[in-house]
Amino acid sequence: MEEINHVAVLDFGSQYTQLIVRRVRELGFFAKLYQPEDLAEIGKPGAIILSGGPMSTSHPDAPDIDFELLKGYGVPVLGVCYGMQLLNIKFGGSVEASDRREYGPAGLYPVACEGLYEGITDKSQVWMSHSDTVKNLGESCKVIAKNQHGTPVSLQWGESFYGIQFHPEVTHSHEGTRILHNFLLTAKELEPFRIEDFKRELIENIKKTVGDKQVVCGVSGGVDSTVLAVLLNEAGVNVRAIFVDQGLMRKNEAEEVKNNFHRLGVEIEAIDASKLFLGALAGEPDPEKKRVIIGNLFIDVFWDTVGNAEMLAQGTLYPDVIESASNDKSKASKIKTHHNRVDRILELQKQGKVLEPLAELFKDEVRELGHSLGIPDDILNRHPFPGPGLAVRCPGEITLERLNVIRDCDAIFINALKEHGWYDKVWQAYAGLIPVKTVGVKGDERSYEWATNLRAVISEDAMTADWVELPPSLLREVSNKILNEVSGINRVLYDISTKPPASIEWE
Ligand code: XMP
């Protein structure tokens, strides 16, 4: 959607580049990542940022930029680290190679409290990560900030080209976001991002691409696929939404998903494949093998139902796209990794028949889009739920009895979180099974029963997570209810492990 007024971020390979995109979006502007060689295809940007990168500008394979083309856009440009050094060379200056790396905090001393440094205090901490340094300044270049040793760390060439040697996008640069914002404010043609405009563009694009073809999409009840199906519906597309119940959903979830879609005016085809899945999983304790069985079977059931789909829509999000793009520098967006047998999808993708309308959005933006599509908050604020469902919360062999025990414990826990106002405060919560029998007393007899683990975490992106300090009274209430009502459980444990080293799920 190059038509959308945006900030083009050119990726020179720094590990922080995706964060620049994220920060710009947090500041209320649309941003997209491009490879430098695609500079001609960035549409009409309102500003351009050249990211950092691991190479030295003097390396024969160092990534380059078409400077005439860059200047031709006539918009403000910010070079970060490698980006700054490259700009200095393009303006006729030089860069000194060095084997020594400067890594860590430094103090920032703006020459004047204006432009990029409007409102920035002296000695503000910024984060450095570079080896090479600027030597001779390029044409029409002035130093606009130095570090504590008086070394230039920020340059300006002419009216609208800026460079910074530090990383404004990382939180260790304490006023980095403000500096980025100040830069964006110099971009007179840059307009704030409005999800309503984006939605309109998306719908126009979908109509144009799809025409009167039928589009198939899989729905799980999760946020992404729900927003996707409702968006297609809103675009007036002939959509076939398929929900595969693999028998690994939570208590009453299949019914809930059907009802939710009914409320949203999207009729879904629900396929009860639970017997098939449980049959295939029977007797298999190995976590990886269980995942493969579930992934393959899911694709089989889905494609058996779909037959010859003309088009397929997927709820791929921007982090999936940029992750795979920066991994292999390919522009093609990738299919989510739990789709193991992807040949058929790849074929459709080659033919341009895979639609990924959410592929430019982050999760919170998908929620915002869902909101503007009229999807109620109780659906949009659902916790993430893994593709393999309860299988990853049931270590060892999966049986219907074990799944039902998990379902009962989980329903009690989740309901209590909702009743006490904790559900929306945590990123994800669930009850799982520890299929180890320990001794307890029931009536007058000793009994040997399983344990359940309660897990509630906060996280920003699921890469790291911390356990939530739930009130002991809430935990006590949940524990009492589970021990009284769920047969097969005589112990309730609360998981107090951070990720890393633990993970959110148990398998
Ligand atoms: P972990 O357990 O790796 O989970 O800390 C991180 C997040 O990913 C979810 N998860 C999955 N989602 N397919 C998915 O679609 C999977 O195989 C899968 N495994 C874990 C998990 O629920 C958490 O939100």
In SS3 terms, 225-293 reads as HHHHHHHHHHCCCEEEEEEEECCCCCCCHHHHHHHHHHHCCCCEEEEECHHHHHHHHCCCCCHHHHHHH
Provide the annotated binding site: 220-226
273-317 pLDDT, tens digit per residue, is 999 999 999 999 999 999 999 999 998 999 899 888 899 999 999
Work out the number of other CB atoms within 10 angstroms of the CB of residue 140: 12
392 domain-assigned:
no
pTM over cut 0.85: no
Q: Do residues 410 and 288 both lie within one domain? A: no
Closest Cα to atom 7 of ligand 1: 462
Candidate list 6, 130, 141, 167, residue with the active-site label:
167
Tell me how far apart the alpha carbons of residues 452 and 482 are, in angstroms, rounded to a whole number: 9
Q: Domain containing 84 — which CATH number?
A: 3.40.50.880
Q: Binning pLDDT at 50, 70 and 90, where does residue 195 land?
A: very high
- Is residue 59 domain-resident? yes
Does the residue 327 lie in any domain? yes
Residues 6+ apart with CB under 8 A from 255: none
Which residue minimizes the CA distance to atom 18 of ligand 1?
A: 386
Q: How many domains does the chain have?
A: 3
Q: In Å, what is the CA distance from 93 to each residue of 84, 136, 501?
A: 11, 5, 47
214 lies in the same domain as 168: no
3-state secondary structure of 505: coil
Identify the band that residue 340 occupies on the pLDDT scale cut at 50, 70 and 90: very low
Query: For residue 338, is pLDDT > 60?
Result: no
Claim to verify: residue 81 and residue 134 sit in the same structural domain: yes
C-beta atoms surrounding 303 within 10 Å = 16
* Residue 461: pLDDT over 70: yes
477 C-beta neighbours (distance < 10 Å), count: 15
Residues 168 and 218 in one domain: no
For residue 335, the model assigns a pLDDT of 35
Q: Work out the average pLDDT over 181-200.
A: 95
Confidence tier at 328 by pLDDT (50, 70, 90): low
Residue 108 lies in a domain: yes
What contacts 394, CB < 8 A, 6 or more positions away?
402, 403, 406, 432, 433, 435, 507
Q: Which parts are annotated binding residues for ATP?
A: 220-226
Q: Are 353 and 222 in the same domain?
A: yes
If pLDDT is split at 50, 70 and 90, which confidence band does 2 have? low
pLDDT score of 333? 34
Residue carrying structure tokens 């005439």: 68
Residue 426, pLDDT score: 98
Does 388 contact ligand 1 (Cβ within 6 A)?
yes
What CATH number corresponds to the domain at position 461?
3.30.300.10
Ligand 1 center to 223 CA (angstroms): 14
pLDDT, residue 352, reads 87
Is 344 part of a structural domain of the chain? yes
Specify whether 180 is located in the same domain as 239: no
pLDDT tops 90 at residue 501: yes
Q: Is 432 in the pocket of ligand 1 (CB under 6 A)?
A: no
Query: What span, in angstroms and rounded, lies between the C-alpha atoms of 22 and 25?
Result: 5
- Regarding whether 249 and 151 lie in a shared domain, the answer is no
Q: What is the tens place of the pLDDT at every residue in 358-367?
A: 999 999 999 9
Mean pLDDT of the chain: 93
Give the residue whose CA is nearest to atom 12 of ligand 1: 386
Task: Look up the domain containing 31 and give its range.
Answer: 7-185
Evaluated on CA atoms 444, 486, 426, 385, the torsion sign reads: positive
pLDDT band at 198 (very low <50, low <70, confident <90, very high): very high
16 and 152 fall within a common domain: yes
Q: Is the minimum distance from the CB of 458 to ligand 1 under 6 angstroms? A: no
Ligand 1 close to Cβ of residue 462 (< 6 A): yes
Which residue is listed with tokens 């193991």? 340
Residues 472 and 441 in one domain: yes
Residues 146 and 263 in one domain: no
409 annotated active-site: no
Q: Is residue 199 part of a domain?
A: no
Ligand 1 within 6 A of 315 CB?
no
Same domain, 348 and 418: no
Q: How far is the CA of 385 from the centre of ligand 1 (A)?
A: 7
The secondary structure of the chain in percent helix, strand, coil, rounded to multiples of 5, reads 35, 25, 40
What's the pLDDT score for residue 327? 57
Q: Which two tokens stand for residue 46?
A: 């309102």
Work out the end-to-end distance of the chain between its first and last CA atoms, rounded to an integer number of angstroms: 38
DSSP class of residue 166 equals B
